Amino acid sequence: MNLELEFNSNTMGEVLFAYADIPEELRGGAFINQLDYDGAIDEIKYLADRVEESDTNNLSSSEPPIKTYKIYVENTAVFKKELGDFLLGLLESAIEGYSEGNELCPICKRINNRGECDTCEHYLGLTADGGFCDLPDEILEPLEDLISLVADDNGEAMEQFVETHQKFKALVSIVVETQDPVAIMTECTEVSYGDDIQTDTLLSAGGACNLYSDADDGFEKLLTDVKELIKLFEESRP
């Protein structure tokens, strides 16, 4: 009989989801938060050949003792499959909610519900034909200002500007070619697209898409460059 799993009451969700036979896209975020820990322990005691429990007191805190579990099994394949089936059963309500129109963040796998303003920190906003919705003003407004300045400039003046400020050559090229805030963000940072969705009540009828990113440093650099570019453009005009 082998020691198959070991976890405590703080790490249980992450350990079980990483171990069990369940789809990778369900191994994180809100799905783990749906876990009925007491129900999971009861089922593990039923499925495993032996479960050892122990308590560790946290001397520096008034928190209750941390319970640790050691799981022993003989048939790993059977145990892993049965545990995965059980966890999927516990997640039935979360999966049902996802199938009704919510969306998994492609980064952290949290279930996001944009309609109820319930989204993870990776959510940027929604883009659709004809415009944007929910994109933060601190991102959208500087990009739109830069696009307007570039669009108003003539080609010769732009060439002279780029020759003087070579470090912005790539960014200026992207702005000239796309003139689209989302395209600029996608080219310059790590932006992930959600599922295609249909809308006839938002910006326009037809397709739309949610945007996600965890590139905080990338956005900070992009916005710093954009603001500096805007200042230089304005200063270079007669």
Q: Where are the domains positioned within the chain?
A: 2-100, 116-236
- Between 203 and 83, where is the model more confident? 83
How far, in whole angstroms, is CA 200 from its chain's centroid?
26
Structure token pair of residue 29 = 């975020």
- pLDDT of the residue at 29: 56
Share of the chain above pLDDT 90, in %: 12
Question: Using the 8-state DSSP alphabet, how is residue 191 labeled?
Answer: -
Task: For 66-112, write each residue's pLDDT tens digit.
Answer: 889 999 999 999 999 898 888 877 766 555 655 555 777 877 767 77
- Between 68 and 189, where is the model more confident? 68
Task: For 107-129, write each residue's pLDDT tens digit.
Answer: 776 777 777 777 888 888 888 76
Task: For 43-68, write each residue's pLDDT tens digit.
Answer: 999 999 999 999 877 666 667 778 89
Contact call for residues 49 and 72 (beta carbons, < 8 A): yes
- Between 148 and 27, where is the model more confident? 148
Share of the chain above pLDDT 70, in %: 77
- Say if residue 8's pLDDT is above 80: yes
- pLDDT of the residue at 199: 54
Contact call for residues 111 and 103 (beta carbons, < 8 A): yes
Global pTM value? 0.54
Q: Buried b vs exposed e over 82-108: b needs ≥16 C-beta within 10 Å?
A: bbbebbbebbeebbeebeeebbbbebe
- pLDDT of the residue at 34: 63
Mean pLDDT of the chain: 78
Task: For 122-156, write each residue's pLDDT tens digit.
Answer: 888 888 765 676 677 888 889 888 888 877 766 66
Question: If you average pLDDT over residues 26-41, what whole number do you get?
Answer: 70
- pLDDT of the residue at 62: 67
